[in-house]
Structure 1
Amino acid sequence: MATTRKRILPSGATSWQADYRDNAGKRRSKQFAKKSEADAFLLTVRGEVRAGMHVAERDSPTFDMAATDWLEKLERDGLERATTERYRATYQTHVKPELGVRKLASITPGQLQVFVDGKAGAMSLSSLKKVRDCLRQVFSYAVKRGKAGMNPATDIDLPQPRRGQKEPPEMPTKAEIKRIVEATPAKWTPYIRTAVLTGLRASELRGLTWADVDLGRGVISVTHRMDRFGADGPPKSDAGRRDIPLSAGTVDMLKTWQETCPKGEANLVFPAPEGGALSHQNFLRRVFWPTMLKAGVAIDTGKVDDDGKPVLEPKYTFHALRHAAAALFIEQGFRPERVKTLMGHSSIQITFDVYGYLFPKEDDDRAAMAQIEDNLFV
């Protein structure tokens, strides 16, 4: 029997005690400042007890205990290391400081919504989604193991961007691409040119082997990728397995590169100088960023160095070359479904979400319809 009763504390203050029995028949109680809070608590508890899912706050682990167990499980299950580390960084930076010491049973949906709302102004939407995913997955893990009675993170709302608010991805212009390629050291030119002309992800370029490159047919087959820790694995999704056609010029470039590139056991197309797996951070720091600065593809930070010279920073990320490749595909007239395939997107919606603004607009369609009419009747 679940009841709410009024209590007068030794201090003279009034509290409301919610009494109930858990799934094992053990008497439990919890005090609240307001009767409405105690009644709402009992309403939730009754449902959890009926479903056999209730966990009393006294027996509940802290969020940090559950999150630690969850992260360890991700590692045991062999989840890609980069993904696990991303979850870990999100938890340690954005969740643990405020929620780590809280008991899972004490956290309500409303509290989590307020928690996420409080971060909305200081974080990008993509970072906020990572926080929400972390909350959801920790609670889901705990519920499945009887450590929490419910998942209060299920219905967290995120701020919706206003129409037209989304910024297009940053990417170099064709003139900037030419300058970057011209400034690239010769031994790295095949890597940069292949990135621009194929749209391959950095992890796909790192994992590319000569067995994946058919220079006779002029095709690169994407069958696996290598994360930034050097671990080889499958593409991000089934759509990531794809064939990328190569131009005659790219085939000739890769034939020449195959003769001179560093050799290693993995037979990588773009290895590190000693033949092993390429470190993405080393490549950025030693090659890509200096190359952009040399090419003048940079932004002025507004600061000056000790000699009074402006401090410049590289203008783009390496991923921007992938965006540039997609833009070139679309400019060349490739249809959305073909761009989706070449980019390895898991759905056409992703293609439109990122690159929809680049596809021909209504005026272009009208011109095409007029051309059809002229061809038929004029």
Structure 2
Amino acid sequence: MASVHPRKNRAGEITSYQVKWRDGGTRAGAQQSESFEDETAAGVFKEAVDDAGQHWPPGWVKGRGYIAAETAAEDAYRFRVYARRVIENRTGIEERYRAACQKELEKWIYPTFGECDVRSVEHFSGDTIKAWVRVLERTRVTRGRMPDGSPKARPMSPKTIRNLHGLLSSILNEAVRAEPPLRSRNPCELTNLPRIDDSGASDDDEDIEFLTPQEVHALRSCLTLRQDQLMVDVKYGSGLRWGELTALAPTCILEVSGAKPRVRVKRAWKRDETGAYYLGTPKTKKSRRTLRISTSVVEALLELEKGLSSAESLYFTGDKGQRLHYSTFHDRWKRAVARAKKAGLLAQHKNPTPHDLRHSHAAALISAGHPLTYVQRRLGHESIKTTSDVYGHLLPEADDDAMATIEAAMAGNRPRLRAVNAAAG
């Protein structure tokens, strides 16, 4: 059922009334709202939403009210209206991703293209798309904090720009494929986008701090809670993501007392469209995996298991047994980093995050000569390209082999070819 909510200013005075409901009346339905100046109008609209089965009343346009049929037909091609409908009708995506798309549209795309006609070659052209991308390139966003606690502002990353451009492009592709077509082509195809490595890093590897085994041990020793120390053992020893790590329970551990103990990554913490957390399956097929774990990891898990009430109890929780928030552990981690620096156990320029334990797990494997394909499977990367882009520079023998080849070529010698055993066919 729709509901009416008064909105107040800082003085506590009611300034407007907002009608809220979930599309279709289900928990999974996207949150919808409309604002009114008086309570009577809000109540009438609430009843109209209820009569329409928790959908927008036919002929009503957000912020404008009921409009004539011919105007409504034209309004359907307004990008804001068209894009919202495209995202709402997409199948095969999670509700959280659907909500994230709507949020990105509202923040980054509607301010420029929201009132444009999706059919117009003037509104949507190579020039207008390029101008919008240039605005994004000059936009500074807040991500993380400076050492003094102030927000850290930096240019929007090339990867974020590519993602936003991709979202816009996907909606215009729908207009091209419509029956009948609303456009003859997608102007986004004409845009030269910033390279992901133009800024020296992408969102996936920005500010990575690779830790040596000695630095990991030092940080572990600077944590005061035993659960936190054991968490470092498990995270560094397995390379699990935070959402996978904090979803672990004894039921996820296979052959714990056998010769080949393994952990089954079958669930992770996720968020629904409202932002509430729940335990669900990992986001991709490659993320759902089974990993061998070392003796140290097994010992840490067995110690944690002693205080659990059942095989379904989580290894890592908050003080009251609830989901362990990343921020809670991160606060304790930052204090450990500060202690390690003060004791001279960690270089002053290094500012690792808990996620860097996953990166350092990969670095330890690659530096010892284990192939990227093996590391890809352990980390649950969907593509080997991701693994290569982030960790490929750590391959220990790549530079040695390359230098030998170049030196032989410069000396006028034919580079020695490696023998390859081919099966007789």
Q: TM-score, normalised by structure 2?
A: 0.61
Alignment counterpart, residue 152 of structure 1, candidates 186, 191, 196: 186
Residues 161-203 of structure 1: CA deviation (Å, up to 9, x unaligned): 6789447651242243223211222122222221111111112
Identify if the C-alpha distance between structure 1 residues 272 and 66 changes in structure 2 by more than 3 Å, giving closer, same or farther: farther
Q: Does 1:79 align with 2:81?
A: no
Structure 2 unaligned regions, length at least 5 = 1-71, 140-155, 343-347, 405-414, 420-425
Q: 1: CA distance between counterparts of 2:350 and 2:92?
A: 38
Q: Does 1:173 align with 2:216?
A: no
Q: 2: CA distance between counterparts of 1:260 and 1:279?
A: 20
Residues 241-284 of structure 1: CA deviation (Å, up to 9, x unaligned): 222222112211210111125x5795223233323333333433
Identify if the C-alpha distance between structure 1 residues 181 and 163 changes in structure 2 by more than 3 Å, giving closer, same or farther: same
Query: Would the aligned equivalents of 2:157 and 2:199 in 1 still touch at CA under 8 Å?
Result: no
Q: 2: CA distance between counterparts of 1:93 and 1:176?
A: 40
Q: Does 1:293 align with 2:338?
A: yes
Q: Does 1:133 align with 2:161?
A: no
Q: Percent identity?
A: 22
Structure (1 or 2) with the greater helix fraction = 1
| Aligned match of 1:209 | 249
TM-superposed CA distance for 1:320, in Å, is 2.0
Q: Does 1:252 align with 2:333?
A: no
Q: SS state of the match for residue 327, structure 2?
A: helix
Q: Does 1:190 align with 2:230?
A: yes
TM-superposed CA distance for 1:232, in Å, is 2.4
TM-superposed CA distance for 1:240, in Å, is 1.5
Residues 325-375 of structure 1: CA deviation (Å, up to 9, x unaligned): 1101112221121111111112222211111100124454489x99x99xx
Q: 1: CA distance between counterparts of 2:119 and 2:78?
A: 9
| Aligned match of 1:225 | 268
Q: 1: CA distance between counterparts of 2:310 and 2:318?
A: 9
Identify if the C-alpha distance between structure 1 residues 135 and 153 changes in structure 2 by more than 3 Å, giving closer, same or farther: farther
Alignment counterpart, residue 289 of structure 2, candidates 217, 239, 242: 242
**Which letter maps to 1:102?**
C
Q: Bigger radius of gyration, 1 or 2?
A: 1
Q: 2: CA distance between counterparts of 1:140 and 1:260?
A: 54
Q: 1: CA distance between counterparts of 2:199 and 2:164?
A: 25
Q: 1: CA distance between counterparts of 2:285 and 2:354?
A: 24
Identify if the C-alpha distance between structure 1 residues 319 and 109 changes in structure 2 by more than 3 Å, giving closer, same or farther: farther
Residues 6-59 of structure 1: CA deviation (Å, up to 9, x unaligned): xxxxxxxxxxxxxxxxxxxxxxxxxxxxxxxxxxxxxxxxxxxxxxxxxx9945
Alignment counterpart, residue 119 of structure 1, candidates 128, 133, 136: 136
**Which letter maps to 2:194?**
P
Identify if the C-alpha distance between structure 1 residues 273 and 72 changes in structure 2 by more than 3 Å, giving closer, same or farther: farther
Q: SS state of the match for residue 286, structure 2?
A: helix
Q: 2: CA distance between counterparts of 1:186 and 1:67?
A: 50
Query: Would the aligned equivalents of 2:211 and 2:357 in 1 still touch at CA under 8 Å?
Result: no
Residues 92-123 of structure 1: CA deviation (Å, up to 9, x unaligned): 32212222222222332311132113322442
Query: Would the aligned equivalents of 2:282 and 2:288 in 1 still touch at CA under 8 Å?
Result: yes
Q: 1: CA distance between counterparts of 2:73 and 2:397?
A: 57
Q: SS state of the match for residue 239, structure 1?
A: coil
Q: 1: CA distance between counterparts of 2:376 and 2:164?
A: 28
Q: SS state of the match for residue 375, structure 2?
A: helix
| Superposition map of 1:50-69 within 5 A | 58=74, 60-69=76-85
Q: SS state of the match for residue 231, structure 1?
A: strand
Q: Which one has more relative contact order, counting CA pairs under 8 Å at least 6 apart?
A: 1
**Which letter maps to 1:103?**
D
Q: 2: CA distance between counterparts of 1:218 and 1:212?
A: 11
